[in-house]
Amino acid sequence: MESETRDRAATEKRILEGVGKIIAERGFERVGINAVSAQSGVSKVLIYRYFGAIDDLLVAYVRQYDYWINFPRKFPTRREELPDFLKKMFRRYTEQLRKNPALKRLHRWELSSNNAIVEALRQQRENTGLWLIEAVSKLTGNDPKDVATQISIITTSITYLVMLEDFYPKYNTIPLDKEEGWEQISDAFDALIDQRFKKQSCWLVKIMKLLLFKHVNKTIMSYRF
Protein backbone atom coordinates (compact mmCIF):
# COMPACT_ATOMS: atom_id res chain seq x y z
CA MET A 1 0.00 0.00 0.00
CA GLU A 2 2.82 2.39 0.94
CA SER A 3 4.64 1.44 -2.25
CA GLU A 4 1.55 2.24 -4.32
CA THR A 5 1.27 5.65 -2.64
CA ARG A 6 4.91 6.43 -3.42
CA ASP A 7 4.46 5.27 -7.01
CA ARG A 8 1.39 7.45 -7.46
CA ALA A 9 3.15 10.48 -5.99
CA ALA A 10 6.11 9.96 -8.32
CA THR A 11 3.80 9.56 -11.32
CA GLU A 12 1.81 12.68 -10.44
CA LYS A 13 5.06 14.60 -10.16
CA ARG A 14 6.12 13.45 -13.64
CA ILE A 15 2.74 14.48 -15.05
CA LEU A 16 2.91 17.97 -13.47
CA GLU A 17 6.50 18.43 -14.59
CA GLY A 18 5.36 17.55 -18.10
CA VAL A 19 2.63 20.17 -17.86
CA GLY A 20 5.20 22.73 -16.77
CA LYS A 21 7.48 22.00 -19.73
CA ILE A 22 4.62 22.32 -22.21
CA ILE A 23 3.50 25.62 -20.69
CA ALA A 24 7.05 27.02 -20.65
CA GLU A 25 7.77 26.02 -24.25
CA ARG A 26 4.39 26.39 -25.94
CA GLY A 27 1.96 28.11 -23.58
CA PHE A 28 -1.19 27.11 -21.68
CA GLU A 29 -3.22 26.84 -24.87
CA ARG A 30 -1.11 23.86 -25.96
CA VAL A 31 -1.72 21.80 -22.84
CA GLY A 32 -3.84 18.76 -23.66
CA ILE A 33 -4.04 15.18 -22.43
CA ASN A 34 -2.26 13.84 -25.52
CA ALA A 35 0.55 16.39 -25.21
CA VAL A 36 0.96 15.78 -21.47
CA SER A 37 1.01 12.01 -22.00
CA ALA A 38 3.70 12.31 -24.66
CA GLN A 39 5.78 14.74 -22.60
CA SER A 40 5.59 12.86 -19.31
CA GLY A 41 5.59 9.30 -20.63
CA VAL A 42 2.47 8.54 -18.56
CA SER A 43 -0.59 6.93 -20.14
CA LYS A 44 -3.72 8.98 -20.70
CA VAL A 45 -5.64 6.49 -18.56
CA LEU A 46 -3.49 7.30 -15.52
CA ILE A 47 -3.67 11.04 -16.16
CA TYR A 48 -7.47 10.90 -16.22
CA ARG A 49 -7.51 8.67 -13.16
CA TYR A 50 -5.24 10.91 -11.09
CA PHE A 51 -6.40 14.35 -12.21
CA GLY A 52 -9.65 14.06 -14.15
CA ALA A 53 -10.24 16.49 -17.02
CA ILE A 54 -7.57 18.79 -18.46
CA ASP A 55 -8.94 21.77 -16.50
CA ASP A 56 -8.44 19.87 -13.26
CA LEU A 57 -4.88 19.07 -14.30
CA LEU A 58 -4.11 22.75 -14.95
CA VAL A 59 -5.59 23.74 -11.61
CA ALA A 60 -3.44 21.10 -9.88
CA TYR A 61 -0.33 22.48 -11.59
CA VAL A 62 -1.08 26.07 -10.60
CA ARG A 63 -1.90 25.11 -7.00
CA GLN A 64 1.42 23.32 -6.65
CA TYR A 65 3.66 26.07 -8.02
CA ASP A 66 1.94 29.44 -7.58
CA TYR A 67 3.74 31.57 -4.97
CA TRP A 68 0.75 33.27 -3.36
CA ILE A 69 -1.51 30.22 -3.28
CA ASN A 70 1.21 28.34 -1.40
CA PHE A 71 2.24 31.25 0.79
CA PRO A 72 2.61 29.99 4.39
CA ARG A 73 0.18 31.56 6.85
CA LYS A 74 2.95 32.47 9.28
CA PHE A 75 3.28 36.06 10.39
CA PRO A 76 5.53 38.01 12.79
CA THR A 77 4.19 38.66 16.25
CA ARG A 78 6.26 41.80 16.83
CA ARG A 79 6.10 44.97 14.77
CA GLU A 80 9.89 45.36 14.54
CA GLU A 81 10.10 42.00 12.74
CA LEU A 82 7.69 43.06 10.01
CA PRO A 83 10.02 45.02 7.67
CA ASP A 84 12.39 42.08 7.22
CA PHE A 85 9.45 39.72 6.78
CA LEU A 86 8.02 41.86 3.96
CA LYS A 87 11.40 42.33 2.27
CA LYS A 88 12.04 38.58 2.20
CA MET A 89 8.50 37.92 1.00
CA PHE A 90 8.85 40.19 -2.04
CA ARG A 91 12.38 38.96 -2.82
CA ARG A 92 11.23 35.32 -2.77
CA TYR A 93 8.30 36.16 -5.03
CA THR A 94 10.64 37.85 -7.50
CA GLU A 95 13.08 34.95 -7.45
CA GLN A 96 10.45 32.24 -7.88
CA LEU A 97 8.66 34.02 -10.71
CA ARG A 98 11.91 34.72 -12.58
CA LYS A 99 13.12 31.13 -12.30
CA ASN A 100 9.90 29.48 -13.46
CA PRO A 101 9.10 30.11 -17.15
CA ALA A 102 5.73 28.38 -16.76
CA LEU A 103 4.66 30.85 -14.06
CA LYS A 104 5.64 33.72 -16.35
CA ARG A 105 3.43 32.21 -19.04
CA LEU A 106 0.68 31.79 -16.47
CA HIS A 107 0.61 35.51 -15.71
CA ARG A 108 0.59 36.42 -19.41
CA TRP A 109 -2.20 33.90 -19.99
CA GLU A 110 -4.23 35.38 -17.13
CA LEU A 111 -4.11 38.84 -18.70
CA SER A 112 -5.67 37.57 -21.91
CA SER A 113 -8.10 35.00 -20.50
CA ASN A 114 -11.20 34.92 -18.34
CA ASN A 115 -12.41 31.42 -17.61
CA ALA A 116 -13.22 29.22 -14.64
CA ILE A 117 -9.56 28.27 -14.07
CA VAL A 118 -8.39 31.88 -14.08
CA GLU A 119 -11.25 32.99 -11.83
CA ALA A 120 -10.48 30.23 -9.31
CA LEU A 121 -6.80 31.12 -9.35
CA ARG A 122 -7.48 34.81 -8.82
CA GLN A 123 -9.83 34.07 -5.94
CA GLN A 124 -7.27 31.89 -4.17
CA ARG A 125 -4.63 34.58 -4.56
CA GLU A 126 -7.14 37.17 -3.35
CA ASN A 127 -7.74 35.13 -0.19
CA THR A 128 -4.02 35.19 0.57
CA GLY A 129 -3.88 38.91 -0.16
CA LEU A 130 -6.79 39.67 2.19
CA TRP A 131 -5.17 37.64 4.96
CA LEU A 132 -1.86 39.46 4.48
CA ILE A 133 -3.47 42.91 4.43
CA GLU A 134 -5.43 42.18 7.61
CA ALA A 135 -2.33 40.83 9.38
CA VAL A 136 -0.18 43.84 8.46
CA SER A 137 -2.96 46.28 9.42
CA LYS A 138 -3.48 44.70 12.83
CA LEU A 139 0.22 44.66 13.68
CA THR A 140 0.92 48.23 12.51
CA GLY A 141 -2.40 49.95 13.11
CA ASN A 142 -2.42 51.21 9.51
CA ASP A 143 -5.57 51.63 7.44
CA PRO A 144 -6.19 48.37 5.46
CA LYS A 145 -6.81 50.46 2.32
CA ASP A 146 -3.32 51.97 2.56
CA VAL A 147 -1.75 48.56 3.17
CA ALA A 148 -3.65 47.05 0.22
CA THR A 149 -2.51 49.84 -2.09
CA GLN A 150 1.15 49.60 -1.11
CA ILE A 151 1.30 45.79 -1.36
CA SER A 152 -0.50 45.88 -4.71
CA ILE A 153 1.90 48.45 -6.15
CA ILE A 154 4.94 46.35 -5.24
CA THR A 155 3.54 42.98 -6.36
CA THR A 156 2.23 44.27 -9.68
CA SER A 157 5.50 46.09 -10.35
CA ILE A 158 7.46 42.88 -9.78
CA THR A 159 5.10 40.85 -11.97
CA TYR A 160 5.20 43.35 -14.82
CA LEU A 161 8.99 43.69 -14.80
CA VAL A 162 9.48 39.92 -14.68
CA MET A 163 7.18 39.51 -17.70
CA LEU A 164 9.22 42.15 -19.54
CA GLU A 165 12.50 40.44 -18.71
CA ASP A 166 12.39 38.05 -21.68
CA PHE A 167 11.68 40.82 -24.20
CA TYR A 168 13.37 44.00 -22.97
CA PRO A 169 16.98 44.00 -21.75
CA LYS A 170 16.54 47.42 -20.11
CA TYR A 171 13.67 49.30 -18.52
CA ASN A 172 14.31 52.93 -17.55
CA THR A 173 18.06 52.14 -17.68
CA ILE A 174 17.63 49.17 -15.28
CA PRO A 175 19.29 46.08 -16.82
CA LEU A 176 16.60 43.40 -16.60
CA ASP A 177 18.93 40.92 -18.28
CA LYS A 178 21.44 41.09 -15.41
CA GLU A 179 21.30 40.12 -11.75
CA GLU A 180 22.56 43.56 -10.74
CA GLY A 181 19.42 45.06 -12.24
CA TRP A 182 17.16 42.86 -10.16
CA GLU A 183 19.20 43.55 -7.05
CA GLN A 184 18.68 47.25 -7.77
CA ILE A 185 14.92 46.69 -7.99
CA SER A 186 14.78 44.65 -4.78
CA ASP A 187 16.93 47.21 -2.94
CA ALA A 188 14.49 49.93 -4.02
CA PHE A 189 11.53 48.01 -2.61
CA ASP A 190 13.49 47.40 0.61
CA ALA A 191 14.10 51.13 0.89
CA LEU A 192 10.38 51.87 0.39
CA ILE A 193 9.50 49.47 3.19
CA ASP A 194 12.14 50.95 5.50
CA GLN A 195 10.95 54.47 4.73
CA ARG A 196 7.34 53.53 5.45
CA PHE A 197 8.19 52.06 8.85
CA LYS A 198 10.64 54.84 9.68
CA LYS A 199 7.94 57.46 9.16
CA GLN A 200 5.53 55.56 11.36
CA SER A 201 8.22 55.12 14.03
CA CYS A 202 8.90 58.87 13.99
CA TRP A 203 5.23 59.58 14.63
CA LEU A 204 5.17 57.07 17.48
CA VAL A 205 8.24 58.67 19.04
CA LYS A 206 6.66 62.13 18.79
CA ILE A 207 3.46 60.87 20.40
CA MET A 208 5.40 59.18 23.21
CA LYS A 209 7.42 62.37 23.81
CA LEU A 210 4.25 64.43 23.91
CA LEU A 211 2.60 62.06 26.38
CA LEU A 212 5.75 62.01 28.51
CA PHE A 213 5.94 65.81 28.47
CA LYS A 214 2.32 66.09 29.56
CA HIS A 215 2.88 63.57 32.35
CA VAL A 216 6.01 65.34 33.61
CA ASN A 217 4.35 68.73 33.38
CA LYS A 218 1.33 67.48 35.31
CA THR A 219 3.61 66.01 37.99
CA ILE A 220 5.49 69.31 38.36
CA MET A 221 2.25 71.24 38.64
CA SER A 222 1.00 68.91 41.38
CA TYR A 223 4.15 69.47 43.43
CA ARG A 224 3.93 73.21 42.88
CA PHE A 225 0.56 73.33 44.57
Domains of the chain, CATH where assigned? 2-65 (1.10.10), 79-224 (no CATH)
**pLDDT one-digit tens code per residue, 164-223:** 998 899 999 999 999 999 999 999 999 999 988 876 544 444 444 444 444 444 443 444
Q: Considering only residues 15 and 214, tell me which one the structure prediction assigns the higher pLDDT.
A: 15
pTM, two decimals, is 0.79
d(CA 202, CA 4): 60
